[in-house]
Amino acid sequence: MIATIKLNSKNYKIDLKAPLDLSIPMKGDETDVNAWYLPPAQIKPHIEEGFVGSVKEGASINFNTITFNPHAHITHTETVGHISEQLVSVHDKFKKYFFLAEVITIAPEKKGDDWVISKKQLSYALGKKKREAVVIRTLPNTRKKKSRQYSNSNPPFMSEAAANFLKEKGIQHLLVDLPSVDKEKDEGALVAHKAFWNVRGKVRTKATITEFIYVPNKVIDGTYFLNLQLAAMVNDASPSRPILYKIID
């Protein structure tokens, strides 16, 4: 099924039958991706007196209760509400869900004990391209990212200059295959989050950061249309399902 999307007076054709899913599903056990020192998410039948919400246990329905943190357990999209006193709900910030996106692959640079995505790397990968969204795949890229336990591992992160560069380029939606754009232990500095959302100036309340994606190796670098799907939650972050579509020449 071919669809046409019009952007800036230009028509783009995409094949809706060939989605490329970047999300990491949550199963509710210890094999889920995990960060921030939280126990695994749980998906369990609701239990009350005389009732267990499981067909296997004799109920007429499956009736599960899910306990999780979107920042720690699943692909999620967040707003500046993640670091602000005021609630800035991701649910309220989307007026459309399709965006012109660039997929880029970055090998983070070694700096002391850290691995960092630099401004120079982003500048080289994006050049003069104007995009609404950027999808960053880091190297090495293996399926282990879908179940990695990131707590106390000092994973790669983005420099403040790199995040500021994306803000200056007008990137509205930043997607990364890491637990955070910031260093795991930074004493709450959150310099990349703050730079991307421009907290020292006119705050970019409609800009979002999506973390814990997984970009399969079959997805080549280049331009795509991104469909960023979110759960309907009034919260600073929501589980999300980023879907890429190839542009048909």
Would you list the domain boundaries of the chain?
2-24+75-248, 26-69
Q: Longest C-alpha distance within the chain, in Å?
A: 64
> Radius of gyration of the chain from Cα atoms?
19
Strands 222-230 and 98-106: antiparallel
Q: Which helix (H) or strand (E) holds 238?
A: strand 237-248
CATH H-level superfamily of 2-24+75-248? Putative cyclase (3.50.30.50)
pLDDT at 1: 84
Q: Where are the beta strands (DSSP E) in 193-234?
A: 208-211, 222-230
pLDDT at 8: 82
User: pTM of the entire structure?
Assistant: 0.96
Q: What is the pLDDT along the chain (249 residues), one digit of tens a residue?
A: 898 988 888 898 999 999 999 999 999 999 999 999 999 999 999 999 989 999 999 999 999 999 999 999 999 999 999 999 999 999 999 999 999 999 999 999 999 999 999 999 999 999 999 999 999 999 999 999 999 999 999 999 999 999 999 999 999 999 999 999 999 999 999 999 999 999 999 999 999 999 999 999 999 999 999 999 999 999 999 999 999 999 997
DSSP state letter for 32: S
DSSP state letter for 72: H
